[in-house]
């Protein structure tokens, strides 16, 4: 790796299928020439689309990026299920659909999955139980109780006619979902509503961490760029955050750079977070503690003037 000056910000990658999210991080790390690189929101190898890569100080914000809604498009096939809930796994159940479900029946099943729902973690996932990831148990053939998570489905609906072939039905969908949603499991849950096995047979993330597919650059295009051209794709931290901004006075900057809590500032009705700048440079983000009626450090980007 060539040592370069540290770059802070994000780059929005259109991840191809066949690579893990960590594969993408490794390639971007080499291309930019720095170690401090991470990603927000893992994409399975067989899923393509938006993967936000954080560089330098932006890695502090990964939890914030991951909390933002995500949007996917894909297709679901009714009539069979796999161990991984997508096409990567072996088929574990099949059921011929001799009498096709009506459009109304499928749309009703989908509608029931909008709003607040509970989902069981897929066996082939990275969720940890007793110190081991679920996929490790699955590969060892061990059966274990899986955790159930809350999720919020903002908008899930069908976007294509329903096809019927070989005693199976298939349709396209779009789904905007909260953090923590198992998008593969949404297909399984749809089948469960109808009483048949189902599988996510194609999936693309078109929005992640507030970034859309239109803002993404294909990974293969990024990797052939010279470093200076690559740097032009990087979005600065201040352009990613949407919280109100406060310019600090000299005395306020002294308090902030020393990590002091601040009670003098009024609560902002629009946001519980404030971006703090000094001489126009973003220095930190403070969060409002409503119980203690004060502002305190949430993210610190630099203590240097």
Catalytic residues: 44
Do 52 and 67 touch, CB atoms closer than 8 A? no
Do 194 and 109 touch, CB atoms closer than 8 A? yes
Distance CA 40, CA 60 (A): 11
Find tokens 């990087």 and name the residue.
Answer: 234
């Amino acid at each position: 790796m060539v040592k370069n000056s540290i770059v802070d910000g994000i780059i929005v990658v259109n991840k191809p299928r066949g690579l893990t999210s960590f594969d993408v991080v490794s390639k971007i790390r080499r291309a930019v020439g720095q170690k401090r690189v991470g990603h927000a929101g893992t994409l399975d190898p067989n899923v393509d689309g938006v993967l936000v890569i954080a560089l330098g100080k932006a890695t502090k914000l990964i939890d914030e990026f991951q909390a933002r809604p995500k949007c996917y498009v894909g297709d679901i096939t009714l009539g069979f299920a796999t161990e991984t809930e997508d096409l990567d796994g072996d088929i574990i159940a099949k059921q011929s659909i001799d009498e096709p479900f009506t459009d109304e029946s499928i749309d009703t099943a989908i509608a029931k999955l909008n709003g607040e729902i509970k989902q069981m973690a897929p066996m082939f996932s990275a969720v940890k139980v007793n110190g081991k990831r679920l996929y490790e148990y699955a590969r060892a053939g061990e059966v274990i109780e899986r955790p159930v998570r809350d999720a919020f489905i903002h908008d899930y609906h069908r976007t294509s006619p329903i096809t019927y072939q070989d005693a199976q039905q298939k349709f396209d969908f779009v789904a905007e979902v909260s953090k923590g949603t198992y998008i593969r499991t949404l297909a399984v849950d749809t089948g469960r509503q109808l009483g048949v096995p189902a599988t996510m047979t194609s999936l693309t993330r078109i929005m992640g961490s507030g970034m859309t597919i239109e803002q993404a650059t294909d990974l293969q295009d990024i990797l052939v760029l010279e470093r200076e051209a690559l740097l032009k794709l990087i979005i600065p931290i201040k352009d990613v955050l949407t919280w109100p901004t406060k310019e600090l006075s000299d005395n306020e900057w002294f308090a902030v750079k020393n990590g002091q809590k601040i009670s003098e500032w009024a609560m902002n009705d629009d946001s519980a977070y404030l971006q703090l700048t000094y001489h126009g440079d973003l220095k930190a983000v403070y969060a409002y503690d409503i119980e203690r009626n004060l502002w305190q450090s949430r993210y610190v980007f630099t203590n240097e003037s």
